[in-house]
Every structure is written in structure tokens, then in C-alpha cells.
Structure 1
């Protein structure tokens, strides 16, 4: 055997994939970003291939990295199972709740309280990701519940309401003159709200162009705060450093769905559904 794969480094590799990059992985693992980078380099030294490449702010797995990621999940699952069997594993959260970033701060507190009542106050762990990634995690059994937007996925998804879509920009942002092109900052493809933004402007006779894109919502908000352009955001809240723009075409709300993994206690799904519905109503009163 020419090398040994470090279990800690493998956990960092999986976290990069699950949470969308080095920075988010470091936050979840409670490590520095440089430590996560060192873990990846350690694995690359063992296997002899690049595993993750930086493409701007986006981290993309190489073909070798994708192969190792599949095995890393199996290795970690076996490792954690072995510890659990002898009672040496860390306490595992009772429930894993996934959510898109849109309006999460408005919806999660009530949902968490509702789930805690059903599970007698057991811990809830969170995962924030895109709708497609959340649904894949539900299919794998990695998530217990997922709150997502976009097209409905599977017959086990429940429509719980809709999130308003609003145009936001920096306070000093100057809108384009009539006939000029509207600069947009968006999440990179595929993204439901990106598509809605472009389509709504086109339907209203506006020309638009994407001047900035990011892998996650935080990057879009930062670009809008910097005055690069206007962003279409889901939810009733207004993030710091941004103001609503009512001089652009109104966009119809985006449906919000809830989906539970196969075999999940139906009481949890019902509690989450009720809490989401109440949160959406409360936000409009």
C-alpha cells in the first residue's frame, strides 16, 4: 500500500461537496478554510491527482475527485457505523432539515420549534443548498425533510404556500434609463429565480443582461450591495444594505414545497407543513 486516506480529510472532502465549497465546509466542520484546503491537498498527495479545482468562487470536482467522493461517503458511513455499534460515536442529531437559502431566516425558527415539540426537543441539524441538491439528499436518505422552491419533485412533495419575489438593489443604485439594459446579479444555472427574473423582464419589454453570478445567495446579495446590479430575491425580509425596487415589473410568487424522506414519521411532516403555512401567513399580516 503506497498511501493511507485520512478519515478527517475525507470528511472535509465530503463537506465541500455537500455544502457548496471550502468556506461553507469550514463553517460546518468548525475549522479554518486553510485547514480544509490542507486536507484536500493531503488527499491529492496520496492519490496523485487533483481532486477539486477553483473556478472563480465555485469549487468543482475533477473526475478523480468525483470517484473518490463516492468512496469517501462509503468509508465515512462504515467508520461512523462502527463507532455507533460500540457506543463510541458522537451523538447523532435526531433530525436533519434542508432548506434553500431563500427566506430561510423567516421560516426556520417556527419550523424548528414545531419539530422540537414532536421530537421532545431533540436536536435539529440544518443543511442549506439548492433545491435540486436537497431533493437528491432526500432521495439518498441524507436529509429527513427539505424545504425547496422550483418545480415539484416527486409525488411525496407537499405544496405549503408561496414566497413573494421582490427586486432588491443597493440604496445608491441608479436604475437604467428607459430603453437601457437592466444589469442583473443572479445565482448561476440552473436556478429557478434566475429564470424568473430574466423571463419577467423580457415579458415586460425590458432588456436585461447578467453582470454577476454566484454559486449561492450570499454572493448575489454581496454583488447587489456593491451596486453591480439588481437582484430578484424570494421572501418578505430585506437584507441589510439593500432596498426594494418597485420600479421594475412585479413577479408572481414562487411555490414552496416540503418533502420528507421515505419512512419518516408522518407527524414530523405534518408539523413542518403547519409551521410553514403559519409562517407564510404571518409574514403577510
Structure 2
């Protein structure tokens, strides 16, 4: 591989062409005239041709020198573009996390507000369990997360909404009589929703058996649709496809939706997120919709 051309020497060559001489180029580059001359000689040795020749007291470019000036301008322009791109301030990024229950309905509203307010920011998303999201925001990996309450002894973050909790199972699932055994489909531990379901069924007199568990909502719904048991789910709009609401089981109340932000997050971002999420749940409540998120 041939030795590369020195970009500093090429810039000296172009400056000579732009200013009209060695002395003026030296002044423009804040170099001595002998240094400017040395740069040209080194280019000539490298390319094995004469680039500039004396003409009395003046100098002029040879045809090879004129060709090199054209090529040098291209190389220097490319270098300047690269340096400009890397010297730009990095694009700000907002890292958002959400549970699956909030992703379908809430995220579009929140993202629309953030994109409008911060058009220059990149938005990065993560869908996960409430416990994993809360841990990530505490560690500073995520900027703000939307989680379900009830997974910690002390509530974290700001309450931004409430979801009713309802029982659902496959269309042909038969509710057993209490006392007696009952099959439960639930999220894998740790899960506050699972603990509430087990406690409520136990207080009704059922012997609870978790017959299927999943780390995500899709797996839980698939198990319930397969008739493996009853599931306790947060509600927003319509029941999940192929599942039916189950009456005759204890009322479990509601679960709060919370916004948790990392320590040090700008107040204006947190305030905008709180307003957008609160408005989302308020709008749903005003329409009187009930179902599963």
C-alpha cells in the first residue's frame, strides 16, 4: 500500500493557490516561508514530479501542480465534512420504558407529545416488566418508565392513572366452586399482580394452583386462551380476543399506573410526561371505557 499524502502539505499547496504565493500562504497559515517551501518539496518528492516552478521572482504551478490542487481541494473538503460531523453536539436522547399494558394505548399519546416538544431528540423504547423497568430507571439506564404499582412496599414515582382489575379466562372455562382447587395463570415472580390474585382467591376459600406462568403479556394471554386457568388483568378497553370476563370471583379493585423518572432528569421533561399520561387516562375515564389493556 503506497504511503498516504500528508493533508497538511496539501492544505499548504491549496493555500498557495488561493493567496497567490509562498509568502502570502505562509502568513495565512501562520508558518514561516521556508516551512511552506519544505511542504511543497516533500509533496514533489512523494509524487516524483515538479508541482511549482520558478519564473523569475514569481512561481507558477506546473500542469501536475494544477491537477493536484483540484484533487487536494476534494480531499480537504471531505476531511472538513468529517470533522464537522464529529464536532457537532450529540443528538439528545430520551430513553422510555413501559409495561406491555401501557404500550398499545398510552405510548402513542406520550410519544406524540414528546416528539412535538422535543423534535431534535431521539426516542428510544424498552418494553419490559414493572420490576425490571423500575430497576433500570433507578440505575439511570432509562430516563422515565410507566409501570404498574404494587410491586414494592413503598410506592415509587408519581401516580398518573388507575386501571381496574378483572378476571378473564377462555370462553369455555368453567369456574369451580369454592372451597376447592382453582387454576391460575399469572406473571412470573416477582409480580404484585400475581400476589393479589393468589391472596384474593385464597380468601374466597380456593386452593390456588399456578398452572401456567409467563414473563410477558403475550405468554400469559396464550396460556389463558388455552384454558389453563383464570388470569387477573388490568383493564382499559375491550377484553382480549378469545377471552371472556369471569364473574363470581372476588372484586380485587384497581391498580395504579405510575411514572418513575431517573434522578436528575430535567423537570420540564418529567412534567410534560406526567401531563400527557394523566390526560390519556382521564380521557379514557370520561368515555367510560372498560376492558383489558
TM-score (norm 1): 0.63
Q: Where do residues 70-149 of structure 1 align in structure 2 (5 Å cutoff)?
A: 87=86, 94-120=93-119, 122-149=121-148
Residue 136 of structure 1: CA displacement? Answer: 1.8
The alignment yields a C-alpha RMSD, in angstroms, of 2.9
Q: Unpaired runs of 5+ in structure 2?
A: 1-83, 288-293
Q: Flag the 1:87–1:235 CA change in 2: closer, same or farther, 3 A.
A: farther
Aligned to 2:279: 278
Q: Where do residues 154-233 of structure 1 align in structure 2 (5 Å cutoff)?
A: 157-233=157-233
* Distance in 2, Cα, partners of 1:121 & 1:248: 50
Quick check: 1:201–1:249 contact (8 Å CA) kept in 2? yes
Quick check: 2:185–2:229 contact (8 Å CA) kept in 1? yes
Aligned to 2:247: 246
Q: Where do residues 57-68 of structure 1 align in structure 2 (5 Å cutoff)?
A: none
* Distance in 2, Cα, partners of 1:118 & 1:255: 27
* Distance in 1, Cα, partners of 2:159 & 2:260: 9
Residue 98 of structure 1: CA displacement? Answer: 0.4
* Distance in 2, Cα, partners of 1:148 & 1:128: 10
Quick check: 1:102–1:233 contact (8 Å CA) kept in 2? no
Quick check: 2:183–2:230 contact (8 Å CA) kept in 1? yes
* Distance in 2, Cα, partners of 1:133 & 1:241: 29
* Distance in 2, Cα, partners of 1:256 & 1:199: 21
Q: Flag the 1:264–1:189 CA change in 2: closer, same or farther, 3 A.
A: same
Q: Which moved more, 1:153-162 or 1:239-248?
A: 153-162
Question: Which structure is larger by alpha-carbon Rg, 1 or 2?
Answer: 2
SS in 1 for 2:105: helix
* Distance in 2, Cα, partners of 1:223 & 1:181: 18
Q: Unpaired runs of 5+ in structure 1?
A: 1-84
The count of aligned residue pairs is 202
SS in 2 for 1:103: helix
